[in-house]
C-alpha cells in the first residue's frame, strides 16, 4: 500500500525538479528499495503530458453574414519590392513561398517547391542561398520551416530529410546542426534552451499519440501534449502550425478554428475563428473531408500578431487574408467583393520588422494590374516603380502598414 501511495506522488510531478526528486528519494529510501524508486521515476517521466486548460477565446467572426471591412481601404505606406530573377535566384512560384523573414535589412524566402532558402536585400537584389540540397552537413533534401533565432541572431532551419535542425548566420554561413529522432513540420522556441515541435499527425515511437513535443535545446523530449485528431490522419501542410509571435507562442491544429496560447506545458484557447455554416465539422472522417474541402473555410499556415492586429490567411473558395483589430474586434478581409484591389492582398501574408509583407503574384496578376494601372497608382503610388510590360518570373513582395479601425 505504501508503494502505491509513492507511485501516485511521483506521477503527479509534471516537470523534472531536482530538489523535489531528491526529497522524494530521501522519503522513499526509508520505505522501499532504490531499484523500485528508479523504476517508478522512469515510469513517471515517460508519461509526462501537458495540459489543455479551459478558456474563453476571443471570437473572430468570418461568417459570410457578418460585417467585414475592406483590407485595402486601411492599408498605408505601401511599397513594392521586385525580387531579382536570374538563374541562381528563381523562385518556383508565388504559392510555394512558405515563409518570408525580414531581418538585418534582408528578406529570407523559403521556397517549398524548390526546397531552397534565398536571401535578398531590401531592394530585392539576390544575395545568396542559405544551405544547399544534399545529405551532408548544412544540407537538406526536405525543408519544413525556418525561423529567426534572437539569442544567436541566426537562422534555424527545420529539416525532415534528414531529420535535423541546422543553424546558419544571417550571412548564410553554416554554424552547426543537431540530429533529431522525430519528424515535425513546424517549431517554436519559448527560450534559448527550450523548443516546441508540431508533429502534424506523423505518429512515431517518440511522439506516441501526441501532436506537440516539448524538448530541450538538444532535442530530448521532456513532455508531450495534444492528442492526435481521430478524424485526420494525414500530414496537412496547408493548414495549422506553431507560431512565435509578439513574444508568445500559438498553436493552431490543422483545419481547426482555434489558436491556443502555449505557456510551458499548458495550452489555453486564445482566439477562435468562426466561419458560420462553413466551419469544418469536427467529426467528419478524413475520407469524406479532404475531397470536399472546398465546401468549408479554414485557416492556412500563416499567422501574425502584434499589439494592434491579429492576421492570417484563410481558404474561402480561394486564398484570402484577414486582420482582426485586437482593440475594436473589427475584421478586415481581402474579399474582392468589397474592393477589386483586394486581389493584390490575397496571397500569403507575413510579418516584417515594422510592417506586413504579402507575396504578390505579379505573373498571375499582370493583366489585372495593366487594366487597372491608373487607379492602382492613384491609390498606391509605389506601383509606378513596377514595370508592367516586363516579364516577371519571380513574385514581388508587397509591404504595407495598417491604419486603425
Among 21-25, 159-163, 243-247, the least confident range: 21-25
Classify 334 in phi/psi space as left (phi over 0), alpha (psi -120 to 50) or beta: alpha
Residue range 109-130: mean pLDDT, rounded: 97
365 pLDDT above the threshold of 90: yes
User: What is the predicted pLDDT for the residue at 51?
Assistant: 85
| 26 — pLDDT class (breaks 50, 70, 90) | low
Superfamily of segment(s) 49-402: TolB, C-terminal domain (2.120.10.30)
Among 129-133, 246-250, 274-278, 327-331, the least confident range: 246-250
- Residue 21 CA to residue 70 CA, distance in Å, equals 57
Instruction: Name the phi and psi angles at 181, rounded to 5.
Output: -95, 10
Count the neighbouring beta carbons within 10 Å of the beta carbon of residue 9: 14
28 pLDDT above the threshold of 60: no
Among 44-58, 179-193, 200-214, 352-366, the least confident range: 44-58
- Residue 38 CA to residue 10 CA, distance in Å, equals 11
**By the 8 A CB rule, do 112 and 98 touch?**
yes
pLDDT digits (tens, 9 = 90+) for 60-103: 999 988 999 999 999 999 999 999 999 899 999 999 999 999 99
Give the rounded percent of residues in the chain with a pLDDT score beyond 70: 88
Average pLDDT, the chain: 88
**Eight-state DSSP code of residue 46:** H
**By the 8 A CB rule, do 120 and 84 touch?**
yes
Domain boundaries, the chain: 1-48, 49-402
- Residue 393 CA to residue 293 CA, distance in Å, equals 30
Amino acid at each position: 500500500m505504501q508503494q502505491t501511495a509513492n507511485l501516485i506522488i511521483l506521477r503527479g510531478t509534471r516537470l523534472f525538479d531536482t530538489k523535489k526528486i531528491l526529497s522524494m528519494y530521501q522519503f522513499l529510501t526509508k520505505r522501499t528499495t532504490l531499484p523500485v524508486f528508479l523504476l517508478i521515476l522512469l515510469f513517471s517521466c515517460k508519461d509526462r503530458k501537458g495540459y489543455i486548460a479551459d478558456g474563453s477565446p476571443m471570437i473572430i467572426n468570418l461568417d459570410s453574414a457578418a460585417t467585414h471591412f475592406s483590407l485595402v481601404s486601411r492599408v498605408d505606406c505601401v511599397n513594392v519590392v521586385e525580387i531579382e530573377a536570374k538563374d541562381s535566384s528563381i523562385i518556383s512560384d508565388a504559392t510555394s513561398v512558405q515563409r518570408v523573414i525580414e531581418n538585418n535589412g534582408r528578406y529570407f524566402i523559403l521556397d517549398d517547391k524548390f526546397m531552397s532558402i534565398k536571401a535578398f536585400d531590401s531592394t530585392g537584389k539576390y544575395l545568396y542561398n542559405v544551405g544547399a540540397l544534399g545529405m551532408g552537413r548544412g544540407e537538406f533534401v526536405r525543408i519544413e520551416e525556418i525561423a529567426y533565432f534572437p539569442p544567436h541572431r541566426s537562422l534555424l532551419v527545420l529539416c525532415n530529410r534528414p531529420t535535423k535542425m541546422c543553424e546558419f548566420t544571417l550571412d548564410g554561413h553554416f554554424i552547426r546542426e543537431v540530429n533529431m529522432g522525430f519528424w515535425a513540420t513546424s517549431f517554436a522556441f519559448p527560450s534559448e534552451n527550450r523548443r516546441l515541435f508540431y508533429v502534424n499527425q506523423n505518429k512515431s515511437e517518440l511522439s506516441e499519440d501526441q501532436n506537440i513535443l516539448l524538448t530541450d535545446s538538444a532535442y530530448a523530449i521532456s513532455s508531450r501534449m495534444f492528442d492526435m485528431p481521430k478524424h485526420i490522419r494525414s500530414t496537412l501542410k496547408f493548414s495549422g502550425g506553431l507560431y512565435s509571435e509578439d513574444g508568445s507562442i500559438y498553436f493552431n491544429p490543422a483545419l481547426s478554428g482555434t489558436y491556443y496560447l502555449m505557456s510551458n506545458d499548458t495550452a489555453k484557447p486564445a482566439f477562435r475563428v468562426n466561419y458560420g455554416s462553413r466551419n469544418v465539422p469536427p467529426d467528419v472522417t478524413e475520407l469524406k473531408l479532404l475531397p470536399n474541402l472546398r465546401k468549408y473555410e479554414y485557416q492556412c499556415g500563416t499567422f501574425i500578431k502584434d499589439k494592434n492586429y491579429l492576421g492570417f490567411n484563410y481558404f474561402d473558395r480561394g486564398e484570402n487574408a484577414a486582420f482582426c483589430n485586437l482593440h475594436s474586434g473589427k475584421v478586415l478581409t481581402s474579399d474582392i467583393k468589397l474592393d477589386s484591389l483586394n486581389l493584390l492582398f490575397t496571397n500569403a501574408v507575413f510579418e516584417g520588422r515594422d510592417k506586413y509583407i504579402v507575396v504578390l503574384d505579379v505573373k498571375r496578376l499582370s493583366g489585372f494590374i495593366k487594366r487597372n494601372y491608373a487607379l492602382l497608382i492613384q491609390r498606391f503610388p509605389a506601383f509606378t516603380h513596377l514595370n508592367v510590360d516586363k516579364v516577371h518570373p519571380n513574385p514581388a513582395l508587397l509591404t504595407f502598414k495598417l491604419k486603425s479601425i
